[in-house]
Amino acid sequence: MKDSVIIVSGGMDSITLLYDKKDEIALGISFDYGSNHNSKEIPYAKMHCERLGIKHITINLDFIHQYFKSSLLEGGNAIPEGHYAADNMKSTVVPFRNGIMLSIAVGIAESHKLKNVLIANHAGDHTIYPDCRPEFISAMDKAASNGTYVNARVVAPYTNITKGEIAKIGKKLGIDYAETWSCYKGGEKHCGKCGTCVERKEALAEAGIIDTTEYED
């Protein structure tokens, strides 16, 4: 039964969830908030939704780029290099981003009489991103249920698994991860050095997937 919407960025995690739950998804939603890499990843979100016959929309959130502070909004040179869990990655936090996106997605879900909002946060996000943690997801789920007539739910099945475990799911589903985007710098190719590139490499290696991503070096 197609009773769900999904927040789909075009990255490894959300594309895996898209294929994992494709029979339940009526609508894919991407958000363009002016990040360094939105223009690289959103086309993949659209492409995969179209491939699966799922309607896709992109919602513009210009105000985030205009009023929020984050290295993710300030150009590729502002993105720190190193491991995804390193403390310097805190600069990439876009404050309450998932709260904003989930709120909009829940409103769209209720407007279309859909029950669930899917999001692909995972355990590797918990260290740095407060709006990816189990406590946050639980609170948003409760708010969505209490604040809608359809008693909408926030469904985040990857909350307590790693990106490597997500990649293993994707491997079983036959996903070509070369058709996804991770790099926070948003250049022509993946930089290979920022936290998200490092995490991407580690996840693919853990899943035993040959990494065909084009890196700058």
For 83-115, what is each residue's pLDDT tens digit? Answer: 655 577 788 889 999 999 999 999 999 999 999
In the chain, where are the structural domains located? 4-206
* Secondary-structure breakdown of the chain: helix, strand, coil percentages, each rounded to the nearest 5: 50, 15, 40
Quote the DSSP letter at residue 104: H
pTM of the model: 0.95
- The encoded tokens of residue 175 equal 């996903």
The backbone torsions φ and ψ at residue 208, rounded to the nearest 5 degrees and listed phi first, read 70, 30
**CB-based contact 18:55 (threshold 8 Å):** no
Give the per-residue pLDDT at 84. 54
Q: What is the pLDDT of residues 162-180, one digit of tens each?
A: 999 999 999 999 999 999 9
CATH for the stretch 4-206 = 3.40.50.620
Provide the angle, in degrees to the nearest 10, between the axes of the packed helices 97-111 and 134-146. 30
Count of CB atoms within 10 A of residue 61's CB? 20
CA 8 to each of CA 50, 86, 88, 166: distance values in angstroms, whole numbers, following the listed order: 13, 25, 26, 15
Tell me how far the alpha carbon of residue 63 is from its chain's centroid: 19
Q: Which residues of the chain, if any, have pLDDT below 50?
A: none
Residue 111: which residues within 8 A CB-CB, separation 6 or more?
none
